[in-house]
Amino acid sequence: MNANEAIARQLAEADTFKNVFARMHAATRRNAQVERSARQARLDALAALVHDNAERFVTAISADFGHRSAHETRLLELFPSLESIRHTRSHFGAWMKPQRKSASIIIPQPLGVVGIIVPWNYPLFLAVAPLAAAIAAGNRVMIKMSEFTPRTGELLAELVARYFTEDDVAVVLGDATVGADFARLPFDHLLFTGSTKVGHDIMRMAADNLTPVTLELGGKSPAIVGLDYPMAKAAERIMVGKLLNAGQTCIAPDYVLVPAGQEQAFIEAARAVVAKCFPAMATTPDYTAIVNDRHYQRLQGYVTDAQARGAKIEPLSTAKADDTRRKLPPLALLNVDDTMRVMQDEIFGPLLPVLPYKDLDAAIAYVNQHPRPLALYYFGNGGGDRDRVLNETVAGGVTINDTILHIAQEELPFGGVGPSGMGHYHGIEGFKTFTKQKAVFYQSRLNGMSLFNPPYGALFERLTKFLIR
């Protein structure tokens, strides 16, 4: 396909998805409410789509990455997708019910048409989880898949067309230009998962239509190892969380704060974890590749920049980097500072800066001097220190004495704060995000409001004095 043909195809695709949006939008204005049975049927269809095509997703995602561990796809994409749908199916009926408040009522209503922009790192789960919430809330949904995972996008588009009508759920494919056109549509709500940088752009595009947005971004999520916590145990939980998807996870530990003098102990413990989990890292199918050449070179650039500025690079595996297959063994970095790119950008890969701290005050101060993170991890047995970290830092979510797992709790809201995002979803929070909680007040047949009508006089003065006594 030459350049002119590619442009023509993009324009045609843009016209097509804009027409789909127009039909969805018109349908939501004709009929604002969606019955529970229709929502149930759509959730059932979504569950069947994921369950019945599980291995096709495993294959497609691996092909998009160059290699993605099949076990990780099943654990990190298929299982949480199905669990999110199960939880939503079990509870959305109760979430739909009006809430009665003395003389008032709150009626949950669908917003209308919801847009979801999906990143490349977890292309199934980060499409399905918000889709389940939006469907449960009674919305029609358009999903823009990442151009970096084209096979997964094409598969999801094929399956959505089979399991749903186009006016209920539709998938949009295409590059960043298509993504920008998508973000500019006047959605009733837009959810974007991706980088903080692109989040700025999405918010600007949505602002033209006053479209409310939920931004699930990233940032530098710290792990703090307390003085009283076994280093080997902390290293195990940190490295396992860090190396899921080769570090290409928005809530992966981005750097580790350890008690001063314990840096080398952490590195030795981390090496033991890597050797145990990936005894043949160069050939194991359990270790995922970096998604594309651009991101592989970005990570290599972080290492080069840090080394040039005085960082010490500590390999955590005996395996060598494989440029052809984009397999990057994990590296720890010592003597890092904020002048280095690796300490400025979200790493999104298997590089782990290790920083010493003098005392807990210093660790908390370091976290608070930087943009608020999407996740924070604290390892410690003492309740006092744990509570100080929880109370004196602000983060999107926290796991204590482990990593990652707070994202898997459907009863907990998931979302960032400030540069790491805005808004929440998962469980009932997703339902609320995609619902208008319409407030309704019922005036009693017998009421005294006429006593407050103008012209105002002595009775009005007595009544208002009573009210504001």
Residues 6+ apart with CB under 8 A from 91: 427, 428
Beta bridge partners of 187: none
* Residue 395: HSE in the Cβ half-sphere, 13 Å Cα cutoff: 29
pLDDT tens track for 21-55: 999 999 999 988 899 999 999 999 999 999 999 99
d(CA 422, CA 243): 26
Residue 307, pLDDT above cutoff 90: yes
CA distances from 105 to 34, 36, 168, 247, 432 (A): 19, 19, 29, 46, 16
Which residue is it, tokens 């090496």?
Answer: 271
Q: What is the mean pLDDT of residues 128-157?
A: 96
Does the pLDDT value for residue 132 go beyond 80? yes
Rounded-to-10 torsion of CA 55, 56, 59, 64: -140
**What tens digit of pLDDT does each residue of 405-458 get?**
999 999 999 999 999 999 999 999 999 999 999 999 998 888 888 888 899 989
| Mean pLDDT for the stretch of residues 386-405 | 96
| Sign of the Cα pseudo-torsion (195, 200, 205, 208, in order) | positive
With bands split at pLDDT 50, 70 and 90, how would you rate the model's confidence at 101? confident
Q: How far apart are the first and last CA of the chain?
A: 77
Low-confidence winner among 88-92, 222-226, 452-456 (lowest mean pLDDT): 452-456
- pLDDT for position 11: 43
The CA–CA distances, whole Å, from 303 to 153, 224, 232 equal: 32, 23, 25
Give the mean model confidence (pLDDT) for residues 313-322: 95
pLDDT value at residue 295 = 96
pLDDT for 450: 86
Structure tokens at 214: 């939920």
Structure tokens at 101: 């408040």
Q: Would you say residue 4 has pLDDT above 60? A: no
Residue 3 has pLDDT above 50, yes or no: no
Question: What are the residue ranges of CATH 3.40.309.10 in the chain?
Answer: 222-408
Total length of the chain: 469
CA 451, CA 215: separation in Å to the nearest integer? 48
CA angle 285, 291, 295 (to 5 degrees): 130
**Whole-number Å distance between alpha carbons of 193 and 466:** 52
Give pLDDT, residue 14.
56
Q: Which residues are annotated as catalytic?
A: 216, 250
| Strand-pair category, 189-193 with 169-172 | unpaired
How large is the average pLDDT for residues 6-33? 77
Query: What are the C-alpha distances in Å from 214 to residues 147, 210, 262, 346, 414?
Result: 21, 13, 39, 20, 11
CA distance 322 to 310: 25
- Cis peptide, bond prior to residue 123, ω within 30 of zero: no
| CA contacts within 13 A on the Cβ side of 41 | 10
pTM of this structure: 0.93
What pLDDT score does 395 carry? 96
Which regions of the chain carry the CATH code 3.40.605.10? 3-217+419-439
Rounded percentage of the chain residues whose pLDDT exceeds 70 = 97
Residues 6+ apart with CB under 8 A from 394: 368, 372, 417
98 CA to centre of own chain = 29
Provide the CATH number for the domain formed by 3-217+419-439 in this structure.
3.40.605.10
Please determine, for residue 7, whether its predicted confidence score (pLDDT) is greater than 50. no
- The pLDDT, as a whole number, for residue 8 is 45
Confidence of residue 282 (pLDDT cuts 50, 70, 90): confident
Alpha-carbon span 125 to 117, nearest angstrom: 12
**51-75 residue pLDDT tens:** 999 999 999 999 999 999 999 999 9
Query: Which CATH number is associated with domain 222-408?
Result: 3.40.309.10
Exposed, middle or buried by CB within 10 Å (0-12, 13-18, 19+), for 186?
A: middle
* Residue-by-residue DSSP string for 395-455: -SEEEESSSSGGGG-TTS-B---GGGEE--BSHHHHHHHTEEEEEEEPPPSS--GGGGPSS
Residues 6+ apart with CB under 8 A from 207: none
- Give the model's confidence band at 135: pLDDT under 50 very low, under 70 low, under 90 confident, else very high: very high
DSSP 342: G
Q: Flag the least confident range among 10-14, 270-274, 340-344.
A: 10-14
